Chain A
Amino acid sequence: MAPAAEGSGSDPVINYLVRRLLALVPVALGVATLTFAIIHLVPGDPVVAMLGETAAPADIVGMRHQLGLDRPLLEQYAAYLGGLAVGDLGESISYRKPVSRLIAERFPATIELAAAGMLVAVLLAFPLGIIAGSNPGGAGDLGAMGFAIVGISIPHIYLGPLLMILFSLDLRWLPLTGRGGLEHLVLPAVTLGTALAAILARMLRQSLIRVRESDYMRTALSKGLSARSALVRHGLKNALTSVVTIIGLQMGALLSGTLITEIIFSWPGIGRLLISAIGARDYPVVEGCVLTFAMTYVIVNMATDFVYAIVDPRVRIS
């Protein structure tokens, strides 16, 4: 609790948070508009997708009318925004359920996957980055950066099946697909997190090298601190800021990665909901899913900015 004398209204942190939260509104509006425009403008018809080619033309017309798809696009857009304003994402055309409920059912699975992927990325990146950065040009550096290159070169769509062949088919350690206990999470998380791990590891290495060559590191060394502990104390703290930035920056890529990872591992998350909704041109579901992805991304970035401000006192919250 902030001391009463300061007053929460003038608390810069609260102010900052309020302003950032308000900034969500234009982003949400932009994403919603872009999604609406794209999904309505590309060819394809949700009613045909749902009723199939055997449906009578009159039924197709009737259903379009019932769903309001025969109204002018601007009118539909206004209705959509009106719904959004009161938190109504509309109703799925093919599932005949409220979009918010569909998303609520699937979102935990995607968050679980994304968080685990992030964790794997961090768990892999720190050791690799430190090994590489503490002795650049050495054998550890070569090995770690070799891993990074491989990690970034292999698309999810290959890494997933390769891990499945190795750890499930051959070694029988882990199950192939589905969502369940921790053992179901390992392979999808590694698939999702490896590319980010590679990027983070390289970033860490860069930061450590920069720190190694900096003046204060030389000072620290001259004071008789052991090289390694000095590097860990100064270097990691310094590198953490870039790591946090990169995590925020890569959040979009990570969330996009969940789409493919969910398909490969039959993971029942929001990514598969989105993919099938795009295929069925289920407009409200596409709009709802994209908005959810976007808001997740923006909120994670707000959080990283906040963390950034904490780990790097030079950046003022303003």
Chain B
Amino acid sequence: MECERLASILLLSRQSRITRNAVLTVWISEWTARLRFVAQIAPALVALAGCGQYRTDRSPGTIQVDIETSPTSTDPRFATDATSSRINELIFDSLVKTDRNGQFVGHLADRVEHPSPTEIVFHLKHGVRFSDGRELTARDVIFTYNSILAPESMSPKRAGIEQLKSIDAPDDYTVVMTTAHPYAPALEMATEGIVPAGTSLPSKENAAAPIGSGPFQMVGYARDEAARLERNPYYPYPSGAPRSILFKIVPDPTVRALELAEGVCDFSGNNIEYDVLPWLGSHRFLEVSRTPGTTYKYLSFNFRDARLRDLRVRRAIAYAIDRKTIVNTILRGTGRVATGMLSPENWAYEANGTTYSFDPTKARQLLDQAGYTAGSNGMRGLRFEYKTTPEGARLGEVFQAMLQRVGIELTIRTLDFATYYADIQAGSFDLTSLQWVGINDPNSYYMVFDSQKTPPHGQNRGYYSNPEMDRLVEAGMSTVDPKWRKKIYGQVQQLAAEELPYVSLWWVDNVAVMNRRLVGFDAYPNGSFRSLATVTLSGPGGGGQWQ
């Protein structure tokens, strides 16, 4: 059989090159005599494939989820990237969690009390167990928070809970958090995943992944390959739900689509190109779901550029960009034209504010008023640099064409992400487009628009500065009464829409593509994978299974 011949040559590759070359030469001269290579190479490869008798190792009850990057940390005290957070949500529980509408609801805590504006009391559920069988008590909660706060931990999450003055456990089932000042978004500090007391910091010798009290535990993780999750035996198991989840890291978007189409991958969340969705949808066994999301895409101005400090120029740019058409074409309808950072689902959303519908005539008028008159070729001597990553170049070209129609020239610089990000943090850009993922509490406005929060202290990368805005976002942070907060953030949203530190582009829909053998997936506006723990598996599923 040709199959064996090829295999024996393959084996030779382990021996010295010289021997291999010699053997190859003999082999080749034999073959030359027959002069039938072209006809034979292809079948030989096929035969080789036939030798393998390939089977997937997919055991019953396992689902495969393709993700685009490796989670950076399996420890919830350190993980800040989206991939880690999504996976950790399935493994670790927090005191409270957000529901579909971004409201905080009890999770480990079944009751939350606010005895004073600076004090929160959490009453823990009884009988919650880590995946090693130990019961989760207030001691574990205190340990988790203290290990984040310890200076030697260098945890990136420390800044997020620095408002915390103390955290105590009067008994095993009560946790008391106090803040120095009234701090409205205090419950956000109660969303950290809890690990058992005594869990070591991610050490140099890379201890096993920490365990949690959520539905799954991580049983294996190889970076750039896969992470395998299995059920926490002490967590109630809904019958028919997946017993294990294989998170496979597949960096190439085309290949992720192929894995879905082949039935190898069961689920993908927000990592498939929009243009490929109709093709995937045409497969009987695949379901494409689009649900409104909270991810907010915006165009950011650099206020250190005098031209961009002119409100008329910013408005002209807002009027010149046809967001509705972009959503309908480039995004294939998977988004909603945005009015501000908070989406309509948010409790603090303000519906009344200045909006900028596509109006190039108005844009030209504004530019004329600002003193940038059009030359004979229609251009106005306004030239801005738009920085972006390779993935964002396509959108940049759309902006470029749209702004050119009103006489503004955009030059596009594409840079690898790390360089791009360094430039943006350093304020070396005129215009750029980024997105906020997981916006929940309106206090986010403080981090992005307060004049004190320029990098590295916050994310006001455009150096926007307005005393009125500062006053509002600082008041919103220290006002605890939700009614007042809603009022304050209503004003913040109106001011932002009026002043345009950002041009709001769109809220991106959550797109899930899944094999129809997954039944009952509940999409969250923030794109959470949480309901993978509760979907049911029906039958072997469609698509090509390897036999």
Q: Are A and B direct contacts in the complex by CB distance below 8 Å? A: yes
Q: Point out residues on A near B: beta carbons under 8 Å.
A: 42-45, 48-57, 59-60, 62-63, 66, 91, 94-97, 115-116, 119, 122-124, 126-128, 130-131, 140, 143-144, 160-161, 164-165, 167-169, 172-179, 181-183, 186, 190, 228, 232, 236, 240, 263-266, 268, 272-273, 276, 278-281, 303, 307, 310
Residues of B188-236 at the interface with A, using a CB-CB cut-off of 8 Å, are 202-204, 206, 222-225
A43 close to B204 (CB less than 8 A): no
B23 CB to closest chain A CB, in angstroms? 12
B156 close to A52 (CB less than 8 A): yes
CB neighbours of B274 from chain A (8 A)? none
Cα A4 to Cα B7 in complex, Å, equals 41
CB neighbours of A57 from chain B (8 A)? 456-457
A303 close to B13 (CB less than 8 A): no
Q: How many residues of B contact A (CB 8 A)?
A: 75
B262 close to A186 (CB less than 8 A): no
Cα A276 to Cα B224 in complex, Å, equals 9
A204 CB to closest chain B CB, in angstroms? 10
CB neighbours of A164 from chain B (8 A)? 255, 258
Pick from A45, A54, A174, A307: contact of B156, CB below 8 A.
Answer: A54
A118 CB to closest chain B CB, in angstroms? 8
Do A266 and B249 contact each other (CB < 8 Å), given the known contacts A43-B418, A59-B158, A183-B52?
A: yes
A56 close to B38 (CB less than 8 A): no
Jot down 15 A-B pairs with beta carbons below 8 A, ordered by A: A48-B421, A54-B159, A59-B158, A60-B456, A91-B204, A95-B206, A119-B9, A122-B24, A127-B31, A130-B28, A164-B255, A182-B52, A236-B28, A278-B418, A279-B417
* Nearest-CB residue, chain A, relative to B419: A43
B510 CB to closest chain A CB, in angstroms? 22
Cα A47 to Cα B274 in complex, Å, equals 33
B416 close to A279 (CB less than 8 A): yes
CB neighbours of A48 from chain B (8 A)? 421-422, 425, 456
Cα A62 to Cα B38 in complex, Å, equals 63
* Nearest-CB residue, chain A, relative to B48: A186
Cα A44 to Cα B223 in complex, Å, equals 22
* Nearest-CB residue, chain A, relative to B24: A122
B423 close to A182 (CB less than 8 A): no
Cα A115 to Cα B14 in complex, Å, equals 9
B485 CB to closest chain A CB, in angstroms? 22
Cα A62 to Cα B7 in complex, Å, equals 55
CB neighbours of B419 from chain A (8 A)? 42-44
Cα A309 to Cα B546 in complex, Å, equals 48
CB neighbours of A174 from chain B (8 A)? 49, 54
A126 close to B224 (CB less than 8 A): no
A101 CB to closest chain B CB, in angstroms? 9
5 shortest A-B CB distances, which residue pairs? A127-B37, A183-B52, A44-B418, A56-B159, A43-B422
Cα A236 to Cα B49 in complex, Å, equals 30
Pick from A97, A169, A280, A307: contact of B418, CB below 8 A.
Answer: A280
Q: A50, A165, A167: which has the most chain B beta carbons within 10 Å?
A: A50
A228 close to B32 (CB less than 8 A): yes
B49 close to A186 (CB less than 8 A): yes
Pick from B80, B154, B249, B255: contact of A176, CB below 8 A.
Answer: B255
B456 CB to closest chain A CB, in angstroms? 4
* Nearest-CB residue, chain B, relative to A101: B206
CB neighbours of A94 from chain B (8 A)? 72
A276 close to B32 (CB less than 8 A): no
B338 CB to closest chain A CB, in angstroms? 21
Residues of B423-482 at the interface with A, using a CB-CB cut-off of 8 Å, are 423, 425-426, 456-457, 459
Cα A203 to Cα B48 in complex, Å, equals 27
Cα A127 to Cα B29 in complex, Å, equals 9
Residues of B24-57 at the interface with A, using a CB-CB cut-off of 8 Å, are 24-25, 28-29, 31-33, 35, 37-38, 41, 45-46, 48-52, 54, 56
Cα A264 to Cα B80 in complex, Å, equals 26
Q: A59, A94, A240, A278: which has the most chain B beta carbons within 10 Å?
A: A59
Q: Is B354 an interface residue (CB 8 A)?
A: no
B171 CB to closest chain A CB, in angstroms? 32
Pick from A44, A168, A179, A190: contact of B421, CB below 8 A.
Answer: A44
CB neighbours of B156 from chain A (8 A)? 50-52, 54-55, 59
Cα A51 to Cα B70 in complex, Å, equals 15
* Nearest-CB residue, chain B, relative to A303: B17
Cα A263 to Cα B68 in complex, Å, equals 11
Cα A96 to Cα B259 in complex, Å, equals 32
A272 close to B37 (CB less than 8 A): no
CB neighbours of B50 from chain A (8 A)? 173
A176 close to B258 (CB less than 8 A): yes
A48 CB to closest chain B CB, in angstroms? 7
Cα A276 to Cα B17 in complex, Å, equals 32
* Nearest-CB residue, chain A, relative to B203: A96
CB neighbours of A95 from chain B (8 A)? 206, 223
B54 close to A183 (CB less than 8 A): yes
A240 close to B204 (CB less than 8 A): no
Pick from A167, A266, A268: contact of B255, CB below 8 A.
Answer: A266
Cα A237 to Cα B13 in complex, Å, equals 20
A131 close to B37 (CB less than 8 A): yes
CB neighbours of A96 from chain B (8 A)? 202-204, 206
* Nearest-CB residue, chain B, relative to A46: B418
B159 close to A115 (CB less than 8 A): no
Cα A45 to Cα B38 in complex, Å, equals 52
Cα A201 to Cα B9 in complex, Å, equals 20
CB neighbours of B52 from chain A (8 A)? 181-183
A263 close to B258 (CB less than 8 A): no
Query: Per-residue CB proximity of B99-112 to A under 8 Å, as 1/0?
Result: 00000000000000
B8 CB to closest chain A CB, in angstroms? 12
B450 CB to closest chain A CB, in angstroms? 15
CB neighbours of B10 from chain A (8 A)? 119, 182
Q: Is B18 an interface residue (CB 8 A)?
A: yes
B77 CB to closest chain A CB, in angstroms? 13
CB neighbours of B56 from chain A (8 A)? 175
* Nearest-CB residue, chain B, relative to A49: B418
Pick from A115, A168, A279, A280: contact of B13, CB below 8 A.
Answer: A115
Query: Per-residue CB proximity of B245-258 to A under 8 Å, as 1/0?
Result: 00011111011001
Q: Is B172 an interface residue (CB 8 A)?
A: no
Do A126 and B28 contact each other (CB < 8 Å), given the known contacts A176-B255, A177-B255, A280-B418?
A: yes
CB neighbours of B255 from chain A (8 A)? 160-161, 164, 176-177, 264-266
Q: Is B81 an interface residue (CB 8 A)?
A: yes
* Nearest-CB residue, chain A, relative to B49: A173
Q: Is B375 an interface residue (CB 8 A)?
A: no
A184 CB to closest chain B CB, in angstroms? 8
Pick from A115, A182, A278: contact of B51, CB below 8 A.
Answer: A182
